[in-house]
Structure 1
């Protein structure tokens, strides 16, 4: 509901979940599972219906003004969004939809209503959770609201199956939300191995305008405290102070757009680069298409993923598929995404991060071995495998009796008024 799978990842609220929904849908369709994706219309230019490929249709639903609504404002549009979905379904044959798979808690609330109305199973993927984010909140990030926690708990209770990206996320659903372990399935996201693949680093560097002898450190993602691009800048400043001769070769690439609280202070990273004395070494690159993104990853010595929390960390696997050495925080789903083919760092101390990065760029033999292992590790993640596992989850949901109806008195209590006026 809060972001379209057709949006450019890396800015606003568009990120790994957008990629997940679109890529999984395409692979499901190729397996014979037709997919309608309902998303909120955010521009007058959005066509009501977009056929991405045979079997995958994106339907833009009018729910509130096209522009000017933050994600925090969207609970008030749940009813409008649900009504738009019901209008579409009213024109379809009876029993047209076999199952609802909702992504993120806002969509989970609407998916709960739709699944009950259509008398079909509800499968839900959280992607991120309020209680987890609040446990790992970055400095400058607001605490996730109590209303979101309540909404997530309701969806966990209502869903017939819950899909977790990693075993860690499955444990969080069980431990923090009381999910029934028998209803939780682990399905790791995939990577497009045709796009994200190894290649000649020198060719890649010429393509993105980076000197062949440079030391290129790369951050890819939305610019917000949760993703912690500041950690890479502080670590880079530390590296230059340790080894002044590095200044002539160091390039720090920041690929992404402002998101979340960073929208209110768009120049914060530029000011930090100045404070660290590396403003002349940093390149800020707006979100780009996937082919160009893969080229940047092939060009990099290190791709840093310093997030405070990630349900999976898709960018880490995409970078590894390109042969990049990934240095990532040891948190959330990143240990699963990175495995032993990268470097995991405890915490966000820039000195520790500088040590970890230095251990890669100063040791070409180790870097080459990590690059080789990265490609092997990433090869285990494909969208085809993700779709196959999702299809098995759908089969399990369809084979089991449906859970409690939204009309049951014990479930009705506490339903947000935007859904049940």
Structure 2
């Protein structure tokens, strides 16, 4: 079949799982002879984690650099004003003090700024569009990008991959709008009435809750919401709904998101949504045995020689460890390494870091050779809720919890091979690439029975590949940690199953096959519903 010309676009600089999808999928397509280009956000200099040309090396990349906007933010100004490329918004609320993030939540971005964002991307796409025909435009995430692409590529069909975070945002926007309606107010009104700077904010929220007979759940949401982040929710809901309607084909990364999308985006109610799970590089992520000496050498590199962990409000590397700290990984009674549990991700609310740390703390008291928790990730400066360093100290487990910081994706396979078990009790994780990557490395995962992992992990029976626990249950996580860490034979059985399953189902060659099928279907019928 003839080779395709595919332009891929994503507003975000490399950060999180969707960037890995863009990178691996386009590598696979290029290896097959398809002509591909990647038009994406970028931040930082060569070698930095957010630098697009570094992250997507080997691909044809057209970066949309946010450095000027970032510098404006560092100087205390609005990063979405007075610059050619305004900083992209976020699907998560990063408004907490000390988070150090320049990207405002979508719901905080007014109409005028939204138009500026769309115009900036429209200009970027036009400047870099090739003279020849483009067969398909592949857009990652739902945003203002669909409108920009629709104007720039009027004759090319578009495929949009929903990565799930946009669906969480829309659901959160509706929840806030419903609550505002319940107290006969608007988000704008609540932003003023319940301002975080107001000394009697809690009393004002309680008064509203009593007056309008709110449930306990509604009262808690009223108290904890920073309403300034949600004032433009309705405008963005309408924009994102229209963006979905402009797309020729929609892809979801899990059955959960496929079923959720039409309830939030009415234009998709009668549309076919194709489920294509994210993939894993099975050449890079594969089982390899490591001796205790090799594992200890890895830990020394990540924690002592090249520390990147960051304390609350600090820069990468502000959490530093010594050889004395490293000795805590060894059980003095046996001379062997203690069991190592690896958590991986970003410090976001739905990742349920408090549940992870509290469950680990409970499990540790029930195990003879107390395990060690390796916290792998946490994007520099980005944190929703309490920082896990503070949580570990409050729980009295700081001596058993180590932070590697945000490291390159190429390091993750070795991190997974160094661990005995991977655990991440996120709730409604849209897909969860790290669980598949753990399975591919033969490190069986523990996840909650929600979202993508509920479909990708087999928890029981002959073909079990990991464990699933009840969401938001500290006791369930603790029980499963104890069970998994004390039954080495069962852990090994699931590890073998997991690696075989990941290779057979989630290799990028299979994922690319499915995407090229969707591309060709979009080309045959661009306006298909």
Q: Shorter chain as normaliser: what TM range?
A: 0.7 to 0.9
1:272 Cα deviation (Å)?
Answer: 1.0
* TM score, norm. by length of structure 1: 0.82
Look up the match of 2:277. 188
Look up the match of 1:366. 490
Q: In structure 2, the residue corresponding to 1:262 is in which secondary structure?
A: coil
1:155 Cα deviation (Å)?
Answer: 2.0
Do the aligned partners of residues 264 and 331 (structure 1) sit closer, same or farther apart at CA in structure 2, a change above 3 Å counting? closer
Look up the match of 2:473. 349
Look up the match of 1:200. 289
Name whichever of 59-68 and 40-49 sits farther off. 40-49
Name whichever of 157-166 and 177-186 sits farther off. 177-186
Q: 5+ unaligned residues in a row in structure 2: which ranges?
A: 1-9, 74-101, 176-219, 300-328, 331-335, 460-464
Look up the match of 1:165. 253
Do the aligned partners of residues 259 and 183 (structure 1) sit closer, same or farther apart at CA in structure 2, a change above 3 Å counting? farther
Rounded to whole Å, the distance in 2 between the matches of 1:257 and 1:53 is 23
Deviations 1:214-266 (A, max 9, x none): 111110111222222322211111123344x433xx2110011247861686x
Rounded to whole Å, the distance in 1 between the matches of 2:234 and 2:34 is 36
Look up the match of 1:3. 12
Contact kept, 8 Å, 2:278 with 2:506, in 1: the verdict is: yes
1:326 Cα deviation (Å)?
Answer: 0.4
Task: Establish whether residue 60 from structure 1 lines up as the match of residue 63 from structure 2.
Answer: yes
Contact kept, 8 Å, 2:146 with 2:246, in 1: the verdict is: no
Rounded to whole Å, the distance in 2 between the matches of 1:49 and 1:253 is 30
Contact kept, 8 Å, 1:43 with 1:66, in 2: the verdict is: no
Look up the match of 2:341. 217
Task: Establish whether residue 296 from structure 1 lines up as the match of residue 415 from structure 2.
Answer: yes
Task: Establish whether residue 122 from structure 1 lines up as the match of residue 151 from structure 2.
Answer: no
Contact kept, 8 Å, 1:120 with 1:402, in 2: the verdict is: no
Deviations 1:153-203 (A, max 9, x none): 222211110011122221112333231554311111110111111011425
Task: Establish whether residue 87 from structure 1 lines up as the match of residue 208 from structure 2.
Answer: no
2:133 to 81, 92, 96: 96
Contact kept, 8 Å, 1:23 with 1:383, in 2: the verdict is: yes
1:15 Cα deviation (Å)?
Answer: 0.8
Q: Which has the larger radius of gyration?
A: 2
* TM score, norm. by length of structure 2: 0.66
Contact kept, 8 Å, 2:366 with 2:482, in 1: the verdict is: no
1:96 Cα deviation (Å)?
Answer: 3.1
Contact kept, 8 Å, 1:219 with 1:229, in 2: the verdict is: no
Do the aligned partners of residues 44 and 205 (structure 1) sit closer, same or farther apart at CA in structure 2, a change above 3 Å counting? closer
RMSD: 3.0
Q: 5+ unaligned residues in a row in structure 1: which ranges?
A: 8-13, 405-421
Q: How many residues align?
A: 385
Deviations 1:30-76 (A, max 9, x none): 2222221112343366999789566x311112566144330536844
2:369 to 221, 236, 246: 246
Q: In structure 2, the residue corresponding to 1:220 is in which secondary structure?
A: strand
Q: In structure 2, the residue corresponding to 1:101 is in which secondary structure?
A: strand
Contact kept, 8 Å, 1:313 with 1:333, in 2: the verdict is: yes
Look up the match of 1:387. 512
Rounded to whole Å, the distance in 2 between the matches of 1:364 and 1:50 is 40
